[in-house]
Amino acid sequence: MSDNKKGDWTKRIGQLTINHRYILFFVISYLSIYFSYIQGGKLYQGHDSDFHLSRIEALYIAISNGDFFPQITYFLAKGMGYASSIFYSDIFLYPAALLRLIGFPLGLSYVFYILLVTFFTFVIAYHSFHSITYDKKKSLIFSLLYGLSSYRIADVVTRGALGEVLALMVLPIAFAGMIQIISGDEKKFYILSIGMASLFISHIISTVIFCLFIIGYLILNIKTLIKDRKRVLYLFYATVLTLLMVAVSVLPIIEQLTFQQLKVQSEQIFYLQKSAENLVDYLKSAILNQGYNNLGWLIIVALLVLLIRIRSLTTQNKQFLVLGIVFLFLATDYFPHYLFQDTVFNAIQFPWRYFIIITLCITWALADSFEDILPQKKNTQVVVISCTIFLLLFSSIQYQITGRKDVRFDYDYFSQLDGFNLGAGMEYLPSDMDYVKTLNEISGIFTRSKEAEISKATRNYNELSFIYRVEKPTKVTFPIIYYKGYDVQLTGSGEISKVEESQEFKGLCEVTVSGEGRVRFWYKGTMIQKVSLGISLLTWLSLAGYLIDKRKKKSAG
């Protein structure tokens, strides 16, 4: 392409101010969810929507009760308290919970929230790409290709997989951070840390998958790392900084997992080999633009085009193409997943989750290479790129329109959720707990002793209290799931044991009382939770201060 033609194309894109781009991102965000979230005041009920809506409602209830950083969610498990906030961070849910506090109903709050998340997906993708290439037109193209990718749309609509949707929002930050270190700008290692921390907060499984990508990317760049070992040192710095930033999540998780055995440790619910599909099935879903594991026609076409024009690609984009193909192979049943059945890899649950890496690698390589792989004739590139983005938007609309009509409900329908749904695996319940049986058998403070006198039993959010009188030591069971951090206080002449797990009602909290008195039972939290919050808060504030000071010095210079 001649310099004049390049200049014309660049000039046209350059005329779009950042505000114009944001307006474009918002309009496309609106259109990309309109038919599944907005049209007719109805919301598509995805596979995991109820669980994530319940998490939002639980956070809203916690904040309403003055619990601004909840560890236990009392809306879930019908009030028995589920530790999802420990294992599944609530940090990115606060905007949705604040909408509830303002007065919006749950369903409508979720619609606004998903619109906001979709918008920021485009914005973050744009700035992440621009931080590497400093090319406005390529950054705009990448943000649109990535934000409208079929797998992301399937996550938003059919699966309702909010954790993975949030992961896709922040993933480009970690991706750009990794490139910064390998490409020689290693002093910006904090970008990788910010991306990885945000990814961990969004979705732990996606973090594990991205770590696999990092391993692959490092292997492909092993010569560079050996030649310039200081980049390895900055990778270490990035790792340490990330761990400090996510200490608030990591340490409490480790604490609970070492305190007792949960279902996530004892029951293998998902098997990679069983959920993997062959390449033909994935291609069929992509071409027909359907299903929950829809890789999308763009990725298939882009893979073929990039392979055909591989000699025109930069070394970096060749690496992304190779990694995209590797992860596509890992997603199929051609890969012997059964060899890793009893390993940490099975935590990924579904091999098609690797589509997040394929989507990111291929859309990045495509956006960065379009000038080199497309015919260099006047306006040809403009027409091809414009048509591709238009077809992607049309595909997202068509995907929504042809989706199941029987799972679209009025917004008010979602205000009737009762918190029963804990997700398909109920991974964070005590391992021996029979969830449904326990719900049916216990509804309040319980004891088998016929001689025990229990009165004035009350509950205020996470605090239960009652007055008792017993002739001999008696076990009292609370309708609260057993986790580390619960405590009791006795007022009176009697005695009380520490909180322990009930032997009769596995998974519930229990104490042994004698004599008489008033019992107060509540979630006190743990020292590790408090210390880890302090560590992460101090780390984030210190990093923010460093970046602000750096920017001031740059402006002054």
- Residue-level pLDDT, tens digit, the chain, 557 residues: 444 555 555 555 555 677 889 999 999 999 999 999 999 999 999 999 999 999 999 999 999 999 999 999 999 999 999 999 999 999 999 999 999 999 999 999 999 999 999 999 999 999 999 999 999 999 999 999 999 999 999 999 999 999 999 999 999 999 999 999 999 888 899 999 999 999 999 999 999 999 999 999 999 999 999 998 899 999 999 999 999 999 999 999 999 999 999 998 887 767 788 888 999 999 999 999 999 999 999 999 999 999 999 999 999 999 999 999 999 999 999 999 888 877 777 778 899 999 999 999 999 999 999 988 888 776 888 888 999 999 999 999 999 999 888 899 999 999 999 999 998 789 999 999 999 999 998 888 989 888 899 999 999 999 999 999 999 999 999 999 999 999 999 999 999 999 999 999 999 999 999 999 999 999 999 999 999 999 999 999 999 999 998 888 887 76
Domain-wise residue ranges, the chain: 3-416, 435-525
Exposure string of 435-453, with b = 16+ CB inside 10 Å and e = fewer, is beebeeebeebbbebeebe
Give pLDDT, residue 378: 64
Identity at 541, one-letter amino acid code: L
Give pLDDT, residue 437: 93
Exposure string of 64-78, with b = 16+ CB inside 10 Å and e = fewer, is eeebeebbbbbbbbb
Q: Residue 378: is it exposed, middle or buried by C-beta count within 10 angstroms (0-12/13-18/19+)?
A: middle
Alpha helices in 460-508 (DSSP H): none
Query: What percent of the residues of the chain are helix, what percent strand, and what percent coil, each to the nearest 5?
Result: 65, 10, 25
Contact at 8 Å (CB) between 312 and 369?
Answer: yes
Q: What are phi and psi of 329, to 5 degrees?
A: -65, -45
Give the residue among 319, 170, 174 at the shortest CA–CA distance from 238: 174
Exposure string of 22-58, with b = 16+ CB inside 10 Å and e = fewer, is eeebbebbebbbebbbbeeebbbbbebbbbbbbbbbb
459 contacts: CB under 8 Å, gap ≥ 6 = 465
Backbone dihedral region for residue 313 (phi beyond 0: left; psi -120 to 50: alpha; all else: beta): beta
Q: What are phi and psi of 517, to 5 degrees?
A: 160, -175
Give the DSSP letter of residue 344: G
Contact at 8 Å (CB) between 44 and 408?
Answer: yes
Distance CA(23)–CA(3), nearest Å, equals 30
Give pLDDT, residue 341: 75
Place of tokens 């109920």: 426
Distance CA(49)–CA(47), nearest Å, equals 6
Distance CA(55)–CA(8), nearest Å, equals 49
Q: Is 69 helix (H, G, I), strand (E, B) or coil?
A: coil
Hey, which residues does 514 pair with through a beta bridge?
495
Give pLDDT, residue 53: 97
Lookup: tokens for 514: 């004698």
182 contacts: CB under 8 Å, gap ≥ 6 = 217, 218, 221, 224, 225, 231
- pTM tops 0.85: yes
Q: 435-525, what's its fold?
A: Immunoglobulin-like (2.60.40)
Place of tokens 């076409």: 301
Q: Is 459 helix (H, G, I), strand (E, B) or coil?
A: strand
Give the residue among 87, 59, 77, 70 at the shortest CA–CA distance from 522: 70
Alpha helices in 65-202 (DSSP H): 84-87, 94-102, 106-133, 136-147, 150-154, 162-182, 189-202
Lookup: tokens for 220: 């492909």
Q: What are phi and psi of 268, to 5 degrees?
A: -100, 105
Give the residue among 179, 174, 101 at the shortest CA–CA distance from 134: 179
Alpha helices in 426-525 (DSSP H): 435-441
Distance CA(482)–CA(242), nearest Å, equals 30
Q: What are phi and psi of 267, to 5 degrees?
A: -120, 125
Dihedral sign for Cα atoms in the order 378, 379, 382, 387: negative
